[in-house]
Structure 1
Amino acid sequence: MIVAMASLIPSFAVKPTLVGEWVLLRPVAADDAVGLVEMLSDPEVRRLTGTHGQACPGTELERAEQWYSSRAGHDNRLDLAIVEQRTNSYVGEVVLNELDADNRSCSFRIALVGPRVFGRGYGTEATRLVLSHAFGTVGMHRVTLEVFAFNPRARHVYEQVGFVHEGTMRQALHWQGDWVDAHLMALLAEDWSAHRGYPKLSG
């Protein structure tokens, strides 16, 4: 009985490759570090993700390579590169982290390299792919995220795939002199089972 129960404990030890129509998700590698530095150096990406501090591309590459090289060794998080299939190029990352195995929950985040790939549907497809893996393969019960109030485009994408707004952390981010709210959203396994990332939206 103990062995049977242990087999049900969710883990991100397996690092999959997930294939969609426009993008594929694969485990991040050191070679993706250039793309990560590009992403973290883009002012708009830094604003939307609430990343403080100054980007230093000249000194960041080695750290990015070390970071991506070490991701395979963690069973409590899943870091996947978003790759545009047409060009086989890195266009962002999607991450499941903060795994709470006892409660079968984790956090979700996604980032694209910048405005040059915004609006192409890559983020939406990547989100559906990784959520299908989280609920259908890993056995998650709940996946959560935070999105800042000044990022309505991202919130719209999250709502399109089934995330539900659960609350607001008021003035959670101090950005260039302004206080910005962070919205809390979540998706449950039963909801995913019902719509598979294509909920019927009101209005």
Structure 2
Amino acid sequence: MIDTEALRTQPELTGENVVLTQLDESYFETGWEALREPESRRLTGTHTEFTPEQVRTWLAGRPGLDDRADYAIVRKTDRAHIGDLALTDIDKDNRSASFRIALNGPEFYGKGYGTEATGLLLGYAFDVVGLHRVSLEVFDYNPRARRAYEKAGFVREGLQRQALWWDGEWHDVITMAVLATDPRP
């Protein structure tokens, strides 16, 4: 059974280098910058152009939901907002969810922040919320993310051929998942 109250109240999750805290409108400025950062847009395959009002409204609506969990990733040393991640598309009957993560720019890549944040969220998903399966999609041009997901326990399950059109060419989407019963790194 899924603990929807755990989703609604979303506890802060603390790791060695990052803290996951409820994503809300207080993260607008850095979130808005990240949505306009070209490499972050490419790595997430974001074609949509958002308005500031759309982003503010979306952020304000994150707290208190019982069908997803949206977290800001903040660096533990200085509480700088370095990205966000989420459990989405929660299927209560099948105890499954989708996962997504985005760091706010290249200055945060390759430092282990994403790997640590992913591990924290998976612990919450399996041990607190009660999920059995968490899945994700990653683009073929992002091997760094694939390695980070594998470190967190995700296993490649499939390939969606030529599912993303980006910069004038087609790219494959790799599907990965991790189960509550899989070994934890």
TM-score by length of 1: 0.87
Give 2:104's aligned residue.
Answer: 113
Q: Secondary structure at the match of 2:74?
A: strand
Give 2:2's aligned residue.
Answer: 9
Q: Secondary structure at the match of 1:186?
A: strand
Give 1:62's aligned residue.
Answer: 53
**2: distance between equivalents of 1:132 and 1:142?**
12
**1: distance between equivalents of 2:29 and 2:107?**
16
Residue 38, structure 1, aligned to residue 29, structure 2: no
Amino acid at match of 1:168: L
Give 2:151's aligned residue.
Answer: 160
Report the Cα offset of residue 73 of structure 1.
Answer: 3.3
- Show the 5 A alignment for 1:42-191: 42-54=37-49, 60-191=51-182
Deviations 1:58-79 (Å, cap 9, x if unpaired)? xx33322221111113211100
Q: Secondary structure at the match of 1:190?
A: coil
Q: Secondary structure at the match of 2:181?
A: helix
**What are structure 1's unaligned runs of at least 5 residues?**
1-7, 199-203
Report the Cα offset of residue 31 of structure 1.
Answer: 1.3
Contact residue 164 and residue 185 of structure 1 kept, 8 A? yes
**Match for 1:26 among 16, 21, 28?**
21
Report the Cα offset of residue 54 of structure 1.
Answer: 4.6
Aligned residues: 183
- RMSD in angstroms over aligned alpha carbons? 1.2
Deviations 1:111-168 (Å, cap 9, x if unpaired)? 0000011111110110000000000111110000000000000000001111000000
Deviations 1:56-109 (Å, cap 9, x if unpaired)? xxxx33322221111113211100000011111111001000000000000000
Contact residue 9 and residue 64 of structure 2 kept, 8 A? no
Deviations 1:28-58 (Å, cap 9, x if unpaired)? 1211011111111110011111111456xxx
Contact residue 146 and residue 182 of structure 1 kept, 8 A? yes
**2: distance between equivalents of 1:83 and 1:93?**
8
Contact residue 124 and residue 157 of structure 1 kept, 8 A? yes
Give 1:4's aligned residue.
Answer: none
Q: Report the identity percentage.
A: 49
Amino acid at match of 2:15: G
Larger-gyration structure (1/2): 1
